[in-house]
Amino acid sequence: MKIFPSFFSNLKKFMPEGLYSRSLLIIIVPIVLLQGILTFVFLDRHWQLVTRKLSSAVASEIVSFLDLKDTLNFSKIKEVSENYYNMSITFIPNQKIKDDAPKPLNLVENTLGKELSMRLENNFWIDAHTLEKQVIVQIENGEGLYQFLLPRRNVYATNSHIFLVWMVISSLLLLSVAIMFMRQQIKPIEKLSKAAHQFGLGMKTENLKPSGATEVRRAAEAYLKMQERIERFMEQRTLMLAGVSHDLRTPLTRLKLQIEMLPNDSNNNELLNDVNEMQKMLETYLDFAQGVTSEDIRKVQLKGIVEEIINIKKDDIEKIIFHNSKKIKCVESKKLIFENDEANFDILLAIPPHVAPKVIYDSNLAKEPGFIPIDRDCKTPYQNIFAVGDVTSLVVIDSMAVPKAGIFAEGEGITVAKNIISKLESKESSALFDGKGGCFLESGRDTASIVEVDMFAVPKPSTLLTESTKDNLSKKLDFEKERLSKWL
Protein backbone atom coordinates (compact mmCIF):
# COMPACT_ATOMS: atom_id res chain seq x y z
CA MET A 1 0.00 0.00 0.00
CA LYS A 2 2.97 2.30 0.56
CA ILE A 3 4.38 1.80 -2.94
CA PHE A 4 2.09 4.24 -4.72
CA PRO A 5 2.48 7.17 -2.25
CA SER A 6 6.24 6.71 -2.43
CA PHE A 7 6.11 6.64 -6.24
CA PHE A 8 4.06 9.82 -6.49
CA SER A 9 6.22 11.51 -3.85
CA ASN A 10 9.33 10.82 -5.93
CA LEU A 11 7.53 11.84 -9.11
CA LYS A 12 6.73 15.27 -7.65
CA LYS A 13 10.46 16.08 -7.55
CA PHE A 14 10.64 15.92 -11.35
CA MET A 15 7.40 17.78 -12.01
CA PRO A 16 7.56 21.45 -13.10
CA GLU A 17 6.52 24.01 -10.48
CA GLY A 18 5.10 26.75 -12.70
CA LEU A 19 1.40 26.95 -13.61
CA TYR A 20 2.18 27.37 -17.33
CA SER A 21 4.47 24.32 -17.41
CA ARG A 22 1.95 22.16 -15.56
CA SER A 23 -0.84 23.30 -17.90
CA LEU A 24 1.28 22.27 -20.88
CA LEU A 25 1.76 18.83 -19.34
CA ILE A 26 -2.00 18.49 -18.88
CA ILE A 27 -2.40 19.05 -22.64
CA ILE A 28 0.66 17.22 -23.98
CA VAL A 29 0.58 14.02 -21.89
CA PRO A 30 -2.92 12.84 -22.99
CA ILE A 31 -2.10 13.50 -26.66
CA VAL A 32 1.18 11.57 -26.43
CA LEU A 33 -0.58 8.68 -24.66
CA LEU A 34 -3.32 8.67 -27.30
CA GLN A 35 -0.77 8.56 -30.11
CA GLY A 36 1.05 5.74 -28.37
CA ILE A 37 -2.15 3.71 -28.03
CA LEU A 38 -3.07 4.32 -31.68
CA THR A 39 0.41 3.43 -32.87
CA PHE A 40 1.01 0.28 -30.83
CA VAL A 41 -2.55 -1.07 -30.74
CA PHE A 42 -4.73 0.08 -33.62
CA LEU A 43 -2.05 0.76 -36.25
CA ASP A 44 -0.05 -2.37 -35.43
CA ARG A 45 -3.13 -4.61 -35.69
CA HIS A 46 -4.30 -2.82 -38.84
CA TRP A 47 -0.85 -3.23 -40.39
CA GLN A 48 -0.79 -6.95 -39.65
CA LEU A 49 -4.35 -7.45 -40.94
CA VAL A 50 -3.65 -5.67 -44.26
CA THR A 51 -0.40 -7.60 -44.71
CA ARG A 52 -2.20 -10.90 -44.02
CA LYS A 53 -4.94 -10.09 -46.59
CA LEU A 54 -2.37 -9.17 -49.25
CA SER A 55 -0.33 -12.28 -48.51
CA SER A 56 -3.46 -14.42 -48.76
CA ALA A 57 -4.24 -12.99 -52.22
CA VAL A 58 -0.67 -13.53 -53.45
CA ALA A 59 -0.63 -17.11 -52.08
CA SER A 60 -3.88 -17.84 -53.93
CA GLU A 61 -2.41 -16.45 -57.19
CA ILE A 62 0.75 -18.57 -56.82
CA VAL A 63 -1.29 -21.75 -56.18
CA SER A 64 -3.54 -20.94 -59.15
CA PHE A 65 -0.55 -20.66 -61.49
CA LEU A 66 0.83 -23.95 -60.18
CA ASP A 67 -2.54 -25.64 -60.79
CA LEU A 68 -2.70 -24.30 -64.37
CA LYS A 69 0.81 -25.46 -65.37
CA ASP A 70 -0.52 -28.86 -66.46
CA THR A 71 -3.34 -27.45 -68.62
CA LEU A 72 -1.73 -24.31 -70.10
CA ASN A 73 1.56 -23.68 -71.76
CA PHE A 74 4.20 -22.38 -69.29
CA SER A 75 5.01 -19.47 -71.57
CA LYS A 76 1.34 -18.46 -71.56
CA ILE A 77 1.22 -18.63 -67.74
CA LYS A 78 4.38 -16.54 -67.54
CA GLU A 79 2.95 -13.96 -69.94
CA VAL A 80 -0.32 -13.66 -67.99
CA SER A 81 1.47 -13.34 -64.62
CA GLU A 82 3.76 -10.57 -65.91
CA ASN A 83 1.05 -8.60 -67.74
CA TYR A 84 -1.78 -8.80 -65.23
CA TYR A 85 -0.20 -9.65 -61.87
CA ASN A 86 3.21 -7.98 -62.23
CA MET A 87 4.76 -11.29 -61.20
CA SER A 88 7.75 -12.97 -62.86
CA ILE A 89 7.85 -16.79 -62.96
CA THR A 90 10.97 -18.82 -63.69
CA PHE A 91 11.37 -22.58 -63.83
CA ILE A 92 14.71 -24.01 -62.64
CA PRO A 93 14.98 -27.70 -63.57
CA ASN A 94 16.65 -30.34 -61.42
CA GLN A 95 16.88 -28.03 -58.35
CA LYS A 96 15.63 -28.46 -54.81
CA ILE A 97 15.38 -26.21 -51.78
CA LYS A 98 18.33 -26.59 -49.45
CA ASP A 99 17.71 -28.27 -46.13
CA ASP A 100 19.57 -25.48 -44.28
CA ALA A 101 17.56 -22.66 -45.84
CA PRO A 102 17.21 -19.60 -43.50
CA LYS A 103 14.12 -19.40 -41.33
CA PRO A 104 11.61 -16.52 -41.72
CA LEU A 105 13.12 -13.25 -40.48
CA ASN A 106 10.39 -10.62 -40.81
CA LEU A 107 6.64 -10.05 -40.96
CA VAL A 108 6.37 -10.61 -44.73
CA GLU A 109 8.14 -13.97 -44.67
CA ASN A 110 6.12 -15.17 -41.65
CA THR A 111 2.72 -14.06 -42.98
CA LEU A 112 3.20 -15.22 -46.57
CA GLY A 113 4.69 -18.49 -45.34
CA LYS A 114 1.62 -19.22 -43.21
CA GLU A 115 -0.72 -18.54 -46.13
CA LEU A 116 1.26 -20.79 -48.50
CA SER A 117 1.39 -23.57 -45.88
CA MET A 118 -2.39 -23.54 -45.76
CA ARG A 119 -2.61 -24.04 -49.57
CA LEU A 120 0.47 -26.10 -50.51
CA GLU A 121 2.02 -29.35 -49.42
CA ASN A 122 5.22 -28.76 -51.41
CA ASN A 123 8.39 -27.39 -49.86
CA PHE A 124 8.91 -23.66 -50.38
CA TRP A 125 11.26 -20.89 -49.34
CA ILE A 126 10.60 -17.14 -49.09
CA ASP A 127 13.24 -14.38 -49.24
CA ALA A 128 11.93 -10.89 -48.42
CA HIS A 129 15.16 -9.31 -47.17
CA THR A 130 17.70 -9.73 -50.00
CA LEU A 131 15.99 -7.41 -52.50
CA GLU A 132 14.67 -4.02 -51.33
CA LYS A 133 11.47 -3.81 -53.42
CA GLN A 134 10.84 -7.43 -54.41
CA VAL A 135 10.08 -10.77 -52.74
CA ILE A 136 11.43 -14.14 -53.96
CA VAL A 137 9.31 -17.27 -53.54
CA GLN A 138 10.72 -20.71 -54.52
CA ILE A 139 8.45 -23.77 -54.62
CA GLU A 140 9.60 -27.35 -55.19
CA ASN A 141 8.07 -29.42 -57.94
CA GLY A 142 8.85 -32.95 -59.01
CA GLU A 143 10.89 -31.70 -62.00
CA GLY A 144 12.64 -28.74 -60.31
CA LEU A 145 11.90 -25.33 -58.74
CA TYR A 146 9.41 -22.65 -59.64
CA GLN A 147 10.70 -19.21 -58.67
CA PHE A 148 8.24 -16.32 -58.33
CA LEU A 149 9.56 -12.75 -58.24
CA LEU A 150 6.84 -10.34 -57.12
CA PRO A 151 6.73 -6.70 -55.91
CA ARG A 152 6.92 -6.18 -52.14
CA ARG A 153 3.86 -3.88 -52.25
CA ASN A 154 1.72 -6.89 -53.32
CA VAL A 155 2.28 -8.63 -49.94
CA TYR A 156 3.09 -5.75 -47.56
CA ALA A 157 1.29 -2.55 -46.48
CA THR A 158 4.01 -0.04 -47.43
CA ASN A 159 2.04 3.20 -46.89
CA SER A 160 1.29 2.85 -43.16
CA HIS A 161 3.83 5.56 -42.31
CA ILE A 162 1.60 8.12 -44.05
CA PHE A 163 -0.98 7.63 -41.27
CA LEU A 164 1.73 8.28 -38.66
CA VAL A 165 2.92 11.43 -40.44
CA TRP A 166 -0.58 12.88 -40.65
CA MET A 167 -1.28 11.96 -37.04
CA VAL A 168 1.88 13.71 -35.82
CA ILE A 169 1.29 16.80 -37.99
CA SER A 170 -2.32 17.15 -36.82
CA SER A 171 -1.27 16.68 -33.18
CA LEU A 172 1.39 19.36 -33.49
CA LEU A 173 -1.13 21.72 -35.06
CA LEU A 174 -3.66 21.10 -32.28
CA LEU A 175 -0.95 21.51 -29.64
CA SER A 176 0.16 24.84 -31.13
CA VAL A 177 -3.40 26.19 -31.06
CA ALA A 178 -3.95 24.90 -27.51
CA ILE A 179 -0.68 26.43 -26.29
CA MET A 180 -1.61 29.81 -27.80
CA PHE A 181 -4.98 29.82 -26.03
CA MET A 182 -3.48 28.46 -22.81
CA ARG A 183 -0.85 31.20 -22.79
CA GLN A 184 -3.53 33.87 -23.03
CA GLN A 185 -5.37 32.30 -20.09
CA ILE A 186 -2.23 31.97 -17.94
CA LYS A 187 -0.97 35.55 -18.44
CA PRO A 188 -3.58 37.24 -16.15
CA ILE A 189 -2.84 34.71 -13.38
CA GLU A 190 0.91 35.37 -13.67
CA LYS A 191 0.30 39.14 -13.49
CA LEU A 192 -1.86 38.70 -10.39
CA SER A 193 0.78 36.51 -8.76
CA LYS A 194 3.52 39.04 -9.54
CA ALA A 195 1.42 41.91 -8.16
CA ALA A 196 0.72 40.01 -4.92
CA HIS A 197 4.42 39.18 -4.54
CA GLN A 198 5.45 42.81 -5.04
CA PHE A 199 2.81 44.03 -2.59
CA GLY A 200 4.16 41.56 -0.02
CA LEU A 201 7.58 43.20 -0.48
CA GLY A 202 6.08 46.65 0.05
CA MET A 203 5.91 47.67 -3.62
CA LYS A 204 2.54 48.60 -5.06
CA THR A 205 1.58 47.62 -8.61
CA GLU A 206 -0.22 50.54 -10.23
CA ASN A 207 -1.11 49.13 -13.67
CA LEU A 208 -2.83 45.88 -12.68
CA LYS A 209 -6.09 45.57 -14.61
CA PRO A 210 -8.47 42.61 -14.25
CA SER A 211 -8.41 40.47 -17.40
CA GLY A 212 -8.82 36.88 -18.55
CA ALA A 213 -11.54 34.45 -17.53
CA THR A 214 -14.41 35.48 -15.27
CA GLU A 215 -12.95 33.72 -12.22
CA VAL A 216 -9.53 35.34 -12.74
CA ARG A 217 -11.16 38.77 -13.15
CA ARG A 218 -13.02 38.31 -9.88
CA ALA A 219 -9.82 37.26 -8.12
CA ALA A 220 -7.96 40.33 -9.49
CA GLU A 221 -10.79 42.68 -8.46
CA ALA A 222 -10.88 41.12 -4.98
CA TYR A 223 -7.10 41.52 -4.71
CA LEU A 224 -7.26 45.21 -5.68
CA LYS A 225 -9.97 45.85 -3.09
CA MET A 226 -7.96 43.96 -0.47
CA GLN A 227 -4.84 45.97 -1.34
CA GLU A 228 -6.78 49.22 -1.01
CA ARG A 229 -8.24 48.18 2.37
CA ILE A 230 -4.81 47.15 3.71
CA GLU A 231 -3.25 50.45 2.62
CA ARG A 232 -6.13 52.39 4.17
CA PHE A 233 -5.85 50.39 7.39
CA MET A 234 -2.09 51.00 7.63
CA GLU A 235 -2.57 54.69 7.01
CA GLN A 236 -5.33 54.97 9.63
CA ARG A 237 -3.29 53.00 12.14
CA THR A 238 -0.27 55.22 11.59
CA LEU A 239 -2.36 58.37 11.95
CA MET A 240 -4.02 57.05 15.10
CA LEU A 241 -0.71 56.14 16.74
CA ALA A 242 0.73 59.48 15.66
CA GLY A 243 -2.23 61.26 17.30
CA VAL A 244 -1.79 59.25 20.49
CA SER A 245 1.93 60.03 20.53
CA HIS A 246 1.20 63.71 19.96
CA ASP A 247 -1.32 63.76 22.81
CA LEU A 248 1.21 62.14 25.17
CA ARG A 249 3.73 64.92 24.65
CA THR A 250 1.82 67.39 26.90
CA PRO A 251 1.56 65.17 30.02
CA LEU A 252 5.18 64.06 29.52
CA THR A 253 6.29 67.68 29.44
CA ARG A 254 4.36 68.39 32.65
CA LEU A 255 5.84 65.31 34.30
CA LYS A 256 9.32 66.36 33.25
CA LEU A 257 8.83 69.86 34.77
CA GLN A 258 7.54 68.39 38.03
CA ILE A 259 10.54 66.04 38.29
CA GLU A 260 12.97 68.88 37.67
CA MET A 261 11.37 70.76 40.60
CA LEU A 262 12.15 67.87 42.95
CA PRO A 263 15.39 67.66 44.98
CA ASN A 264 18.45 66.66 42.99
CA ASP A 265 19.15 63.08 44.07
CA SER A 266 19.95 59.81 42.27
CA ASN A 267 16.38 58.46 42.24
CA ASN A 268 14.95 61.64 40.73
CA ASN A 269 17.74 61.76 38.14
CA GLU A 270 17.01 58.19 37.03
CA LEU A 271 13.29 59.01 36.76
CA LEU A 272 14.12 62.10 34.70
CA ASN A 273 16.30 60.03 32.37
CA ASP A 274 13.44 57.59 31.82
CA VAL A 275 11.07 60.46 30.96
CA ASN A 276 13.61 61.93 28.53
CA GLU A 277 14.03 58.54 26.87
CA MET A 278 10.25 58.15 26.51
CA GLN A 279 9.97 61.63 25.03
CA LYS A 280 12.72 60.83 22.56
CA MET A 281 10.86 57.67 21.50
CA LEU A 282 7.70 59.69 20.90
CA GLU A 283 9.58 62.27 18.81
CA THR A 284 11.13 59.51 16.74
CA TYR A 285 7.77 57.87 16.09
CA LEU A 286 6.18 61.21 15.14
CA ASP A 287 8.97 61.81 12.63
CA PHE A 288 8.33 58.34 11.19
CA ALA A 289 4.55 58.88 11.04
CA GLN A 290 5.01 62.14 9.15
CA GLY A 291 7.17 60.57 6.47
CA VAL A 292 5.73 57.05 6.27
CA THR A 293 3.33 57.89 3.45
CA SER A 294 5.80 59.95 1.44
CA GLU A 295 8.87 57.75 1.79
CA ASP A 296 9.95 56.19 -1.51
CA ILE A 297 11.82 52.96 -2.07
CA ARG A 298 15.24 53.64 -3.53
CA LYS A 299 18.27 51.62 -4.52
CA VAL A 300 21.26 51.57 -2.19
CA GLN A 301 24.90 50.69 -2.76
CA LEU A 302 25.64 47.73 -0.53
CA LYS A 303 29.34 48.12 -1.29
CA GLY A 304 29.46 51.48 0.47
CA ILE A 305 27.58 50.13 3.50
CA VAL A 306 29.93 47.15 3.80
CA GLU A 307 33.00 49.41 3.48
CA GLU A 308 31.57 51.66 6.20
CA ILE A 309 31.20 48.66 8.50
CA ILE A 310 34.74 47.50 7.73
CA ASN A 311 36.15 50.97 8.45
CA ILE A 312 34.62 51.22 11.94
CA LYS A 313 36.97 52.91 14.35
CA LYS A 314 39.01 50.75 16.63
CA ASP A 315 37.55 52.49 19.68
CA ASP A 316 34.05 51.40 18.62
CA ILE A 317 35.16 47.79 18.12
CA GLU A 318 36.72 47.69 21.57
CA LYS A 319 33.31 48.49 23.04
CA ILE A 320 32.31 44.88 22.18
CA ILE A 321 33.64 42.74 25.03
CA PHE A 322 33.71 38.93 25.22
CA HIS A 323 33.59 37.51 28.76
CA ASN A 324 34.68 33.91 28.28
CA SER A 325 36.25 33.07 31.64
CA LYS A 326 33.84 34.55 34.16
CA LYS A 327 30.93 32.95 35.92
CA ILE A 328 27.72 35.01 35.98
CA LYS A 329 25.80 35.16 39.24
CA CYS A 330 22.89 37.25 37.96
CA VAL A 331 21.87 39.87 35.40
CA GLU A 332 20.44 43.21 36.46
CA SER A 333 19.25 46.19 34.43
CA LYS A 334 22.15 47.10 32.11
CA LYS A 335 24.57 45.28 34.43
CA LEU A 336 26.26 41.87 34.67
CA ILE A 337 27.12 40.57 38.13
CA PHE A 338 30.05 38.12 38.14
CA GLU A 339 31.45 36.25 41.14
CA ASN A 340 34.24 38.80 41.66
CA ASP A 341 33.42 41.59 39.21
CA GLU A 342 30.72 43.62 37.46
CA ALA A 343 30.28 44.93 33.89
CA ASN A 344 27.81 47.31 32.23
CA PHE A 345 26.19 46.62 28.87
CA ASP A 346 23.76 48.05 26.34
CA ILE A 347 23.08 44.79 24.48
CA LEU A 348 23.80 41.38 25.99
CA LEU A 349 24.24 38.17 24.04
CA ALA A 350 24.57 35.23 26.44
CA ILE A 351 25.15 31.57 25.49
CA PRO A 352 24.50 29.08 28.31
CA PRO A 353 27.06 26.30 28.83
CA HIS A 354 26.26 22.90 27.36
CA VAL A 355 26.24 20.38 30.20
CA ALA A 356 24.70 16.99 30.78
CA PRO A 357 21.56 16.72 32.93
CA LYS A 358 21.92 16.24 36.69
CA VAL A 359 20.73 12.65 36.47
CA ILE A 360 23.79 11.79 34.40
CA TYR A 361 26.12 13.17 37.07
CA ASP A 362 24.24 11.37 39.82
CA SER A 363 24.58 8.06 37.97
CA ASN A 364 28.39 8.41 37.79
CA LEU A 365 28.27 7.76 34.04
CA ALA A 366 29.68 11.17 33.12
CA LYS A 367 33.41 11.82 33.06
CA GLU A 368 35.35 15.01 32.58
CA PRO A 369 34.33 17.43 31.09
CA GLY A 370 30.81 16.32 31.98
CA PHE A 371 29.77 13.85 29.23
CA ILE A 372 29.57 10.07 28.89
CA PRO A 373 32.52 8.66 26.89
CA ILE A 374 31.49 6.12 24.23
CA ASP A 375 33.13 4.16 21.41
CA ARG A 376 31.90 3.85 17.82
CA ASP A 377 29.62 0.99 18.89
CA CYS A 378 28.02 3.48 21.36
CA LYS A 379 29.00 1.34 24.36
CA THR A 380 29.93 3.02 27.65
CA PRO A 381 32.67 1.80 29.99
CA TYR A 382 29.91 -0.05 31.87
CA GLN A 383 28.70 -3.44 30.62
CA ASN A 384 25.40 -3.55 28.70
CA ILE A 385 24.94 0.22 28.90
CA PHE A 386 24.73 2.26 25.69
CA ALA A 387 24.52 6.04 25.33
CA VAL A 388 23.56 8.30 22.42
CA GLY A 389 22.96 11.97 21.76
CA ASP A 390 24.03 15.19 23.46
CA VAL A 391 25.10 13.58 26.74
CA THR A 392 27.88 11.59 25.03
CA SER A 393 31.40 12.35 23.93
CA LEU A 394 32.70 10.36 20.93
CA VAL A 395 36.25 11.51 20.21
CA VAL A 396 37.35 11.37 16.56
CA ILE A 397 40.92 12.69 16.50
CA ASP A 398 42.85 14.55 19.19
CA SER A 399 40.33 16.79 20.95
CA MET A 400 37.72 16.75 18.15
CA ALA A 401 34.46 14.97 18.94
CA VAL A 402 31.30 14.13 16.99
CA PRO A 403 29.02 17.22 16.99
CA LYS A 404 26.03 17.17 19.32
CA ALA A 405 23.35 17.34 16.63
CA GLY A 406 20.11 15.45 16.08
CA ILE A 407 21.22 13.76 12.84
CA PHE A 408 24.24 12.20 14.60
CA ALA A 409 22.10 11.15 17.57
CA GLU A 410 19.77 9.42 15.10
CA GLY A 411 22.69 7.54 13.56
CA GLU A 412 23.95 6.52 17.00
CA GLY A 413 20.46 5.32 17.91
CA ILE A 414 20.36 3.10 14.80
CA THR A 415 23.77 1.69 15.75
CA VAL A 416 22.57 0.88 19.29
CA ALA A 417 19.44 -0.84 17.93
CA LYS A 418 21.56 -3.04 15.64
CA ASN A 419 23.91 -3.98 18.48
CA ILE A 420 21.05 -4.86 20.83
CA ILE A 421 19.53 -7.09 18.13
CA SER A 422 22.92 -8.76 17.56
CA LYS A 423 23.24 -9.35 21.29
CA LEU A 424 19.75 -10.89 21.50
CA GLU A 425 20.63 -13.16 18.55
CA SER A 426 23.94 -14.11 20.24
CA LYS A 427 26.03 -12.67 17.43
CA GLU A 428 29.58 -11.57 18.19
CA SER A 429 29.76 -8.85 15.51
CA SER A 430 29.04 -5.23 16.48
CA ALA A 431 27.74 -2.39 14.32
CA LEU A 432 29.82 0.80 14.26
CA PHE A 433 28.51 4.34 13.97
CA ASP A 434 29.59 5.68 10.54
CA GLY A 435 29.83 9.30 11.71
CA LYS A 436 27.94 10.61 8.68
CA GLY A 437 25.43 13.46 8.96
CA GLY A 438 24.67 16.93 7.76
CA CYS A 439 22.07 19.63 7.55
CA PHE A 440 20.18 21.79 5.06
CA LEU A 441 20.90 25.49 4.45
CA GLU A 442 18.17 27.53 2.81
CA SER A 443 19.75 30.02 0.39
CA GLY A 444 16.70 32.02 -0.79
CA ARG A 445 14.65 31.94 -4.00
CA ASP A 446 13.24 28.53 -3.10
CA THR A 447 16.66 26.85 -3.10
CA ALA A 448 18.79 25.12 -0.48
CA SER A 449 22.22 23.55 -0.04
CA ILE A 450 23.23 20.42 1.84
CA VAL A 451 26.17 20.29 4.25
CA GLU A 452 27.46 16.70 4.20
CA VAL A 453 29.79 15.69 7.07
CA ASP A 454 31.84 12.51 7.49
CA MET A 455 33.49 12.52 10.93
CA PHE A 456 35.42 9.28 10.31
CA ALA A 457 36.72 10.09 6.84
CA VAL A 458 40.38 9.29 6.16
CA PRO A 459 42.76 10.97 6.88
CA LYS A 460 40.58 13.53 8.71
CA PRO A 461 36.91 14.53 9.02
CA SER A 462 35.48 16.04 5.83
CA THR A 463 32.76 18.59 5.11
CA LEU A 464 31.11 19.16 1.70
CA LEU A 465 28.72 21.98 0.76
CA THR A 466 26.57 21.12 -2.26
CA GLU A 467 25.16 23.52 -4.84
CA SER A 468 21.97 25.45 -4.03
CA THR A 469 19.07 23.90 -5.97
CA LYS A 470 15.29 23.69 -5.76
CA ASP A 471 15.57 19.91 -5.51
CA ASN A 472 17.53 20.29 -2.26
CA LEU A 473 14.76 22.47 -0.83
CA SER A 474 12.24 19.75 -1.71
CA LYS A 475 14.47 17.21 0.04
CA LYS A 476 14.57 19.48 3.12
CA LEU A 477 10.77 19.73 3.24
CA ASP A 478 10.41 15.95 2.78
CA PHE A 479 13.00 15.39 5.53
CA GLU A 480 11.07 17.63 7.93
CA LYS A 481 7.73 15.97 7.13
CA GLU A 482 9.21 12.50 7.60
CA ARG A 483 10.78 13.37 10.96
CA LEU A 484 7.64 15.08 12.24
CA SER A 485 5.47 12.11 11.23
CA LYS A 486 7.83 9.65 12.99
CA TRP A 487 8.52 11.66 16.15
CA LEU A 488 5.18 13.38 16.72
Q: Does residue 296 register a pLDDT over 60?
A: no
Q: Against a cut of 0.75, is the pTM above it?
A: no
Burial class (CB in 10 A: 0-12, 13-18, 19+), 432: middle
| CA–CA gap between residue 196 and residue 230 (Å, rounded) | 12
Q: Does residue 1 register a pLDDT over 50?
A: no
For the segment 344-391, what is each residue's pLDDT rounded down to a tens digit? 888 888 877 777 787 887 788 887 667 888 899 999 888 889 999 888
For the segment 35-83, what is each residue's pLDDT rounded down to a tens digit? 788 777 766 677 777 778 888 888 888 888 877 777 777 788 788 888 8
- Are the C-beta atoms of 466 and 448 separated by less than 8 Å? no
Range 13-26 average pLDDT: 76
The predicted pLDDT at position 417 comes to 93
Mean pLDDT of the chain: 79
Q: Does residue 247 register a pLDDT over 80?
A: no
Q: Does residue 298 register a pLDDT over 80?
A: no
For the segment 189-215, what is each residue's pLDDT rounded down to a tens digit? 888 888 888 887 777 777 788 888 888
Q: Does residue 422 register a pLDDT over 60?
A: yes
Instruction: Read off the pLDDT band of 294 (50, 70, 90).
Output: very low
Instruction: Read off the pLDDT band of 123 (50, 70, 90).
Output: confident
Domains of the chain: 44-158 (3.30.450), 214-291 (1.10.287.130), 299-352 (no CATH), 356-429 (3.50.50.60), 435-488 (no CATH)
Q: Does residue 24 register a pLDDT over 60?
A: yes
| CA–CA gap between residue 380 and residue 299 (Å, rounded) | 59
| CA–CA gap between residue 392 and residue 405 (Å, rounded) | 11
Backbone angles phi, psi at 408, to 5 degrees: -75, -35
For the segment 219-233, what is each residue's pLDDT rounded down to a tens digit? 888 888 888 888 888
| CA–CA gap between residue 433 and residue 440 (Å, rounded) | 21
For the segment 386-420, what is each residue's pLDDT rounded down to a tens digit? 999 888 888 888 778 888 888 899 999 999 999 99
Q: Does residue 244 register a pLDDT over 80?
A: no
More confident residue, 159 or 412: 412
Range 421-430 average pLDDT: 87
Our measurement of the distance from residue 488's CA atom to the centroid of its chain's CA atoms, rounded to an integer in Å, reads 25
- Are the C-beta atoms of 203 and 197 separated by less than 8 Å? no
* H or E element, residue 372: strand 372-373
Q: Does residue 273 register a pLDDT over 60?
A: yes
Q: Which residues contact 253 (CB under 8 A, 6 or more apart)?
A: 279
Q: Does residue 292 register a pLDDT over 70?
A: no
The predicted pLDDT at position 278 comes to 78
Range 109-128 average pLDDT: 82
For the segment 169-182, what is each residue's pLDDT rounded down to a tens digit? 888 888 888 888 88
The predicted pLDDT at position 293 comes to 47
